[in-house]
C-alpha cells in the first residue's frame, strides 16, 4: 500500500508528474446526485489571534543555533485567571488554522473549562517552516522534522506562555490532539508530565508501529465500514480491482477507463492502472476516516454518512465490469465532487491542500513508519504484503534517508505505558486507525473510550444536531476527566502554598 499517513495516503506524492489536467473539456455529469443540494455547514465564529514564537531549529544539538518562527493561535474570550485552564492543541501535519477550524470541541467547552485555547502549529507545516522555502529541499534541511523536536517546541511554547501571560503561570495545561496530533498529545504527557496535567488523544494510533498490531487491521476496519454501510458494498469493491485489470487489458481499455472515470489525465500505460487502483483504494480509506453523521468538509466537502451514500452505487451483485466501473465513478464523485464543481477527477489528489504532503512523506520515511497490509480475503483490497525492504529503498530514493521502524516504540514505550497517568485515548469504531489505538483502559488514569458510529476524531469536532448519542456521551466523559485533572491540580497547588 505504500506509505500510509494518518490523514492522507501518499501514493500520489510518490508518482511525480502524474495528474496534470489534459482534458479540461470533460464535464462533471449533470446526473451527480448532490451537486445541487450542496450547502455549506454553519461556521462557528472563531476569534483568535495569530502569534509567533522564535524556536531553536535544533533543540537537541548546539552546533546549529538558528531559530525559526513557529505560528500559534490563541483565544482567551472565555479564559478565567481564577480556576481556569489552558487547552493546548498539539498541532499535527498541516496548517494550524485548518486544524483549529476542525476542532470545534475545544471552542464548545472553552466557557465551561474557563479555558484559554492555544493551537500550536507543528514545525515544517503551515507557516512554521524552519528554513522557509528550502525546508523540504533535502535531508539536511529536513533533519529537524521529528516528533521529539515538535514536542520540544510545544514545551518551550508552554513555558513561554506561562512566563509572559499574566495569570497563566499557575494554571493547569491540558494537551489535546487528534490523529497524529493525538499521538503527540499522548506522547507529550508521557515525556513532559511537568508541563501538562493530562492529555486527550483522539484517534491516536500510537500502536500502529513495528509489530505492535497486525498490519492488516487497518484495511479490515475500512472493509467492515463498507460492509455495514450497504449490501454488496465491500464485495463490489473487492471485485472492482479485477474488473479494472480485465478492462485495462482490452484494446481500447485504457481509453474507456479514462473516459468512464472522467479522469483529468487519461491512462496511457499499464503502470497508470496500478496508480489508478491505489488512488481509488485511498479514496475508500479516506471515506472510512471521514464517515461523519452530517455534511462536513474535512478532507473534502461530503454528505452525511458518505460511506452509506457511496454504497448505494454497489447495491447489486455480479453486475458486468463496465457497469461496475461506472458505479465506481459515481461513488468517487461522492468524494471528489460533492460540490459539483469538479470538471474531471485528478488521480494525484485525494484530500485538502491544508495537509503537508511533503512533510508527512518525510516523517513516514523516518520515524513514523506505520505498517499496513491487505490480503483481499479478509478485506476488500488487492493483496499487498508489508515489505520493509522495499519501503526503505523507496524512502532512500525519495529523501536520501532510511526509516528506523523500531525507534518510536523504543522512544515512547510501545505497549508498555502503564506507568504514565492522565491520558484519555478516544477512538471511533468506524475509524481504520482505531486498530492501532488504545481501545481498552490500561489503568484507572489511562483511559480508553470507544465511540460506536464514530469516525476519525469525531469527538474533537464541533457538536452537531446530527451527532450520535455515543459521541455526545464521549465528550461529556472527556470534560468530566479534564475537569478532574484541573481540580487535582488546584488541590495540589493549594497544598504546596
| Residues at the site binding a second copy, with contacts judged by CB under 8 A | 56, 59-65, 139-140, 142-144, 146, 148-149, 152, 155-156, 159, 191-194, 366, 401-402, 404, 406-407, 410-411, 413-414, 416-421, 492
Active-site residue, 135 included: no
Rounded least distance, CB 93 to a second copy, Å: 17
How far apart CA 399 and CA 73 sit, in angstroms, is 31
How far apart CA 328 and CA 305 sit, in angstroms, is 17
Quick one: 144 or 314, whose CB is closer to a second copy?
Answer: 144
Instruction: Tell me the sheet residues that pair with 342.
Output: none
Instruction: Tell me the sheet residues that pair with 297.
Output: 301
Quick one: 401 or 479, whose CB is closer to a second copy?
Answer: 401
CA contacts within 13 A on the Cβ side of 215: 19
Which of 485, 423, 484, 429 is closest to 457 using CA atoms?
429
Cβ neighbours of residue 464 closer than 8 Å, sequence gap 6 or more: 293, 294
Which of 218, 264, 278 is closest to 11 using CA atoms?
278
Q: DSSP readout, 294-353?
A: S-EESSSEE-SSHHHHHHGGG-SSS--HHHHHHHHHHHHHHHH-TTS--SSB-TT--S-T
Active-site residue, 419 included: no
Kindly name the residue from 225, 272, 291, 431 that is annotated as catalytic. Answer: 431
Q: How far is CA 357 from CA 12, 13, 106, 125, 205, in A?
A: 10, 7, 26, 9, 19
Q: Are 485 and 465 contacting, i.e. CB atoms less than 8 angstroms apart?
A: no
Active-site residue, 426 included: no
Q: Are 169 and 162 contacting, i.e. CB atoms less than 8 angstroms apart?
A: yes
Quick one: 423 or 451, whose CB is closer to a second copy?
Answer: 423
Quick one: 65 or 444, whose CB is closer to a second copy?
Answer: 65
Kindly name the residue from 258, 456, 457, 467 that is annotated as catalytic. Answer: 456
Kindly name the residue from 179, 240, 361, 470 that is annotated as catalytic. Answer: 179
Q: Give the active site residues.
A: 179, 431, 456
Amino acid at each position: 500500500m505504500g506509505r500510509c499517513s494518518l490523514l492522507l495516503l501518499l501514493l500520489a506524492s510518490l508518482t511525480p508528474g502524474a495528474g496534470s489536467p489534459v482534458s479540461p473539456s470533460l464535464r462533471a455529469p449533470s446526473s451527480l446526485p448532490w451537486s445541487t443540494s450542496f450547502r455549506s455547514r454553519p461556521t462557528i465564529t472563531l476569534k483568535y489571534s495569530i502569534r509567533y514564537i522564535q524556536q531553536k531549529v535544533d533543540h537537541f544539538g548546539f552546533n546549529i543555533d538558528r531559530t525559526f518562527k513557529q505560528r500559534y493561535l490563541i483565544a482567551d474570550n472565555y479564559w478565567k485567571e481564577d480556576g481556569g485552564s489552558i487547552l493546548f492543541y498539539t498541532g499535527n501535519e498541516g496548517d494550524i488554522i485548518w486544524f483549529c477550524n476542525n476542532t470545534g470541541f475545544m471552542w464548545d467547552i472553552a466557557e465551561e473549562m474557563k479555558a484559554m485555547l492555544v493551537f500550536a502549529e507543528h514545525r515544517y507545516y503551515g507557516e512554521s517552516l524552519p528554513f522557509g522555502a528550502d525546508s523540504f529541499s533535502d535531508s539536511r534541511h529536513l533533519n529537524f522534522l521529528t516528533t521529539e523536536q515538535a514536542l520540544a517546541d510545544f514545551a518551550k511554547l508552554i513555558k513561554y506562555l506561562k512566563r509572559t501571560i499574566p495569570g497563566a503561570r499557575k494554571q493547569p495545561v491540558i494537551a489535546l490532539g487528534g490523529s497524529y496530533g493525538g499521538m503527540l498529545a499522548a506522547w507529550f504527557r508521557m515525556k513532559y508530565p511537568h508541563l501538562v496535567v493530562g492529555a486527550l488523544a483522539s484517534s491516536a494510533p500510537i500502536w500502529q508501529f513495528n509489530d505492535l498490531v497486525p498490519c492488516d487491521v487497518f484495511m479490515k476496519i475500512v472493509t467492515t465500514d463498507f460492509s455495514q454501510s450497504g449490501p454488496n458494498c465491500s464485495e463490489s469493491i473487492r471485485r472492482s480491482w479485477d474488473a479494472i485489470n480485465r478492462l485495462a487489458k482490452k484494446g481500447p481499455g485504457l481509453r474507456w477507463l479514462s473516459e468512464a472515470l472522467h479522469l483529468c489525465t487519461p491512462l496511457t500505460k499499464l503502470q497508470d492502472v496500478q496508480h489508478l487502483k491505489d488512488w481509488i483504494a485511498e479514496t475508500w480509506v479516506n471515506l472510512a476516516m471521514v464517515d461523519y453523521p452530517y455534511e462536513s468538509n474535512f478532507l473534502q466537502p461530503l454528505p452525511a454518512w458518505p460511506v452509506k451514500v457511496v454504497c448505494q452505487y454497489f447495491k447489486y451483485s455480479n453486475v458486468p465490469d463496465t457497469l461496475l466501473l461506472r458505479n465506481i465513478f459515481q461513488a468517487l464523485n461522492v468524494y471528489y465532487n460533492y460540490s459539483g464543481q469538479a470538471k474531471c477527477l485528478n488521480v494525484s489528489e485525494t484530500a485538502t491542500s491544508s495537509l503537508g504532503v511533503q512533510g508527512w512523506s518525510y516523517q513516514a520515511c523516518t520515524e513514523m513508519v506505520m505498517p499496513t497490509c491487505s490480503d483481499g480475503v479478509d478485506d476488500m483490497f488487492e493483496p499487498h504484503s508489508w515489505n520493509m525492504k522495499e519501503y526503505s529503498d523507496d524512502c532512500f530514493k525519495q529523501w536520501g534517508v532510511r526509516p528506523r521502524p523500531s525507534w518510536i516504540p523504543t522512544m515512547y514505550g510501545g505497549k508498555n505505558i502503564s506507568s504514565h497517568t492522565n491520558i484519555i485515548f478516544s477512538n471511533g469504531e468506524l475509524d481504520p486507525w482505531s486498530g492501532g489505538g488504545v481501545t481498552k483502559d490500561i489503568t484507572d488514569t489511562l483511559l480508553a473510550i470507544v465511540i460506536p458510529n464514530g469516525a476519525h476524531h469525531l469527538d474533537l469536532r464541533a457538536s452537531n444536531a446530527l451527532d450520535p448519542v455515543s459521541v455526545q456521551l464521549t465528550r461529556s466523559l472527556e470534560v468530566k476527566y479534564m475537569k478532574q485533572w484541573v481540580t487535582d491540580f488546584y488541590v495540589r497547588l493549594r497544598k504546596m502554598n
